[in-house]
Amino acid sequence: MSARLTVPKTYKLAIGGAFPRSESGRTYEIRSAKGAFLANAARASRKDARDAVKAARSAQSAWAGATAYNRGQVLYRVAEILEGRRAQFVDEIVAQQGLSAAAAGQQVDDAIDLWVWYAGWCDKYAQVAGNLNPVAGAYFNISAPEPSGVVATIAPQDTALLGLVSVVAPALVAGNTVVVVASEKHPLSAISLAEVLATSDVPGGVVNVLTGSPAELGPWLADHADVNAVDLTGAGDIDWVDLQVRAAQTLKRVVEPGEATPSPQRIAAFTEIKTVWHPKSMV
């Protein structure tokens, strides 16, 4: 009986709930820590970035309009599916990063726990960030957080999964939609996560994943007038100051490179505060 050849997977982009190839037709090889060929990944182009922003914008109002409780349940469902596919993610991380199975398993477990943690904030964050403000006069003055809109983010480049979750999950809590540029060197888990999102209850377009060069894609996302916030957490190895300058042209919120430490402040980075005055009843 003849031996069969393996069928290497080509990891595509994730845009609007679909998995297209790059419109440019470009791919690049992903290799293991020891240099062995693992797979081909799509190298996203400027046009792919524009398509991803368009998909995120189309999905944003419905996602923001869902109840906070519903968003929390949807995000928790993602964690459930991640748990069920844990072995796949462990294998991918071992192959990409050269970690031991135990270390890769810990990264996957941390990513699942972090996703659950942010899911729990969905119906609690408004109570923490909002306020009934004391004012002089016969008025109520109420401040409440609202989503910024479309968030473009560059994921940390040194991890395959945990860094990606650390920047995507907090942006979703308040009702934003996301365009994320995955780790250029370790992108396989990012597309696998997009497959998890597509088979969960997350609407198409809420999370859009681009693979390729952050240095190439970052400027187009920072310039894009329909992007409301830019998260440069994983952009430390490129000219992120230029990206800040570009983002300032359209008054975007900007998160500078650094550690994506889990916190309510991470959620607040992608929200606006709306303050409403309402007269008290004179009855």
Does residue 127 lie in a domain region?
A: yes
Domain containing residue 225:
10-279
pLDDT at 138: 83
Does residue 2 lie in a domain region?
A: no
Q: Is the pLDDT assigned to residue 7 strictly greater than 80?
A: no
pLDDT at 1: 59
Cα–Cα distance for residue pair 283/281, rounded to 1 Å = 6
Overall average pLDDT of the 207-234 stretch: 97
Is residue 23 classed as helix, strand or coil in its secondary structure? Answer: coil
- The residue behind tokens 């889990």 is 262
Does residue 4 lie in a domain region?
A: no
Cα–Cα distance for residue pair 47/84, rounded to 1 Å = 34
pLDDT at 131: 78
Per-residue pLDDT band at 166 (split at 50, 70, 90): very high
pLDDT at 214: 96
Q: Is the pLDDT assigned to residue 283 strictly greater than 60?
A: no
pLDDT at 282: 58
Does residue 114 lie in a domain region?
A: yes
Does residue 96 lie in a domain region?
A: yes
Residue 120: both structure tokens together: 């729990």
CA 142 centroid distance within chain: 30
pLDDT at 63: 98
CB within 8 A of 146, min separation 6: which ones? Answer: 64, 174, 175, 271, 272, 273, 274
| Tally of domains within the chain | 1
Q: Which residue has the higher pLDDT, 276 or 262?
A: 262
Amino acid at 243: L
Q: Is the pLDDT assigned to residue 60 strictly greater than 90?
A: yes
Does residue 3 lie in a domain region?
A: no
Overall average pLDDT of the 223-242 stretch: 94
Cα–Cα distance for residue pair 187/166, rounded to 1 Å = 15
Q: Is the pLDDT assigned to residue 221 strictly greater than 80?
A: yes
Per-residue pLDDT band at 50 (split at 50, 70, 90): very high
Counting Cα atoms < 13 Å in the Cβ hemisphere of 249 gives 14
Q: What is the CATH number of the domain that holds 49?
A: 3.40.605.10
- With a pLDDT cut of 70, the percent of the chain lying above it is 99
Cα–Cα distance for residue pair 198/204, rounded to 1 Å = 7
Does residue 252 lie in a domain region?
A: yes
pLDDT at 108: 98
Q: Is the pLDDT assigned to residue 183 strictly greater than 80?
A: yes
- End-to-end CA, the chain: 90
Q: Is the pLDDT assigned to residue 220 strictly greater than 80?
A: yes
Overall average pLDDT of the 6-34 stretch: 92
- pLDDT digit string (tens) for 65-109? 999 999 999 999 999 999 999 999 999 999 999 999 999 999 999
Does residue 1 lie in a domain region?
A: no
Q: Is the pLDDT assigned to residue 281 strictly greater than 80?
A: no
Per-residue pLDDT band at 30 (split at 50, 70, 90): very high
Q: Is the pLDDT assigned to residue 209 strictly greater than 70?
A: yes
Highest averaged pLDDT of the listed ranges 126-130, 139-143, 204-208: 204-208
Q: Is the pLDDT assigned to residue 117 strictly greater than 80?
A: yes
Mean pLDDT, rounded, of the chain: 93
φ, ψ of residue 142 to 5 degrees: the values are -120, 130
